[in-house]
Structure 1
Amino acid sequence: MKLWTNESDDMYKLPKLKDTAVKQAEQAFGVAFSKEYIDILNIQNGGSIVYNAFPSEWNDDSIYIDHIMGIGKEHGILENDYYLKEWDMPDGLILISGDGHSWIAFDYRNTKENPPIVYIDNESEQIFKLAPSFHDFLNKLYLDKDISFSEYEEVIVSKEELEEHIQKNDIESIIESIDIMSQDLTIDMSWFSKKLLELSKHSNDDVRTSVASATHYLIQIDELNKNEEIVKELCNNFKADSDSDINYYAEEIEKEIQG
């Protein structure tokens, strides 16, 4: 499912996620993040989401959620301790969405990994369990019937646009284009995989990291596996890279390929 709305002015969309940031955040909180949470953040590090409602079991109204926070300081989960103190919420919660009066959070109070997802109502001072895992939480999200997809801007990047960004060496636009195109399953994957291979040797670390992340995602959803030679070349480039985050993606890609 397409989760992120790709809004250009999204304040919750943080810079590209790096493996080092994940490890540092896990050490700071003393927990292990859910695999599914890291998977979606590797596509986009937080932001507004399309599926904006979650069914409630304790009242007739659904719970509305318009964003999921990524790993970062401003508008990210690293602001967690401040909000826990500000709203007098218990330790062990990692907030991923909310506005103060109510929050959705990972509940790590009784575990260090695979936490349930809870809803915190600060008005009634109650905490309700929403789902046993983040995986189940994502699967139950739905689009409210009063909101249509047409209200969101569907961002598409053409081949010509990416080529132009590469020619101008517009780093930010190259990275954004890779992220968007990796989610566009109507794209010419043979052409795109060759572009990924080309960009896997780019001089900019963030571009190469974006390529590695996109490759990992496309392998996970079985979109690149037909291009075995290119995948092999990409892996070799990632292994030989001087950036440890890119080396990490090489290991994860090989795990996916080997099953």
Structure 2
Amino acid sequence: MWPDASKVAAKEKSILQFEAQENIHLPKSYKELIRLQNGGLLRKNLLKTSEPTSYGFDFLEIYRLFGLHELITAILFQDQNPLPGKKIYFSQDNNRFLGFDYQTSDPSILYVDFETLQVLPVAENFKDFLDKLYDAEFANGELSTYSHDKLEIMLQSRSVIAQEAILAELEDDADKEWYFYQLKKLIAAGNEESAYRLFENQILYFKRKLPKETVDAFFPLFHNQTEKWASLKKEWEDNY
């Protein structure tokens, strides 16, 4: 279910409080999941649809399942295009949402794209939704247009060479904290050389955009590159 298991579970008291606050019952299969892990990236991340979506001709993509604390009970721009009945959304990709549709006692699963104004039932209930999920490798495509969730799923399933190629293409990503987190994961997985090459490019070409504290803390992580990074550290300190 989870490619990156955090093993943080939702507390029963919090589940009961949320249900009482919203005057609903969350689906049993959803509660069973969050009692084991309270949300995260999904291993299976595609779902067949009965009509085209902005993802493709007959499918949609889902990258992350929200935990209890992330569930969305109201969307500001939904006021312009109100939907009947109570909705609680458990996944989001920009203006595209998946949610529990409480027009039935056992909520069905609804896909809503507020940009194209598409509203599409995709499963009879949450268990049915989980059963229908499948996985396939995402094509590289326009990586800079992908969400960080989608990129992380791709990175987790690729070889070290492929990971380095993806991160090299994303070298000008504006969220440098996210980017350096990916480099740290490369190091933790034993791929220090790949991480160092990417780190070096950041120092040489993007130094003015980099968070100083994050970079300063990064140099000591390269235990096998001490001879190389001495001059790179000087370059960083002299020109920041």
> 2:76 corresponds to which residue?
85
TM-score (norm 2): 0.52
Amino acid at match of 1:106: F
Amino acid at match of 1:29: E
Structure 2 Cα separation of the partners of residues 99 and 146 of structure 1: 16
> 2:101 corresponds to which residue?
107
Structure of larger gyration radius: 2
| 1:152 CA displacement | 2.6
Aligned residues: 138
> 1:119 corresponds to which residue?
111
Amino acid at match of 1:129: P
Aligned 8 A contact 2:43 2:135 in 1: yes
Q: Which residue among 127, 131, 142 is the counterpart of 2:134? A: 142
| 1:144 CA displacement | 1.7
Q: Which residue among 54, 64, 67 is the counterpart of 1:67? A: 64
Aligned 8 A contact 2:47 2:60 in 1: yes
Amino acid at match of 1:125: L
Q: Which runs of 5+ in 1 are unaligned?
A: 154-259
Aligned 8 A contact 1:107 1:116 in 2: yes
> 2:47 corresponds to which residue?
54
TM-score (norm 1): 0.48
SS in 1 for 2:106: coil
Provide the aligned C-alpha RMSD in A: 2.5
Aligned 8 A contact 1:87 1:100 in 2: no
> 1:16 corresponds to which residue?
9
Aligned 8 A contact 1:56 1:130 in 2: yes
> 1:156 corresponds to which residue?
none
Aligned 8 A contact 1:53 1:63 in 2: yes
Structure 1 Cα separation of the partners of residues 5 and 10 of structure 2: 18
Amino acid at match of 2:16: K
Q: Which runs of 5+ in 2 are unaligned?
A: 140-152, 158-240
Whether 1:45 and 2:45 are equivalent positions in the alignment is no
Whether 1:97 and 2:91 are equivalent positions in the alignment is yes
Whether 1:133 and 2:125 are equivalent positions in the alignment is yes
Query: Residue 61 and residue 23 in structure 1: after superposition, are their counterparts in 2 closer, same or farther (change >3 A)?
Result: same
Percent identity, please: 28
Q: Deviations over 1:30-53 (max 9, x none)?
A: 111111001111110011111010
SS in 2 for 1:16: coil
| 1:150 CA displacement | 8.7
TM superposition outliers: structure 1 runs of 4+ over 6 Å:
none
Amino acid at match of 1:18: K
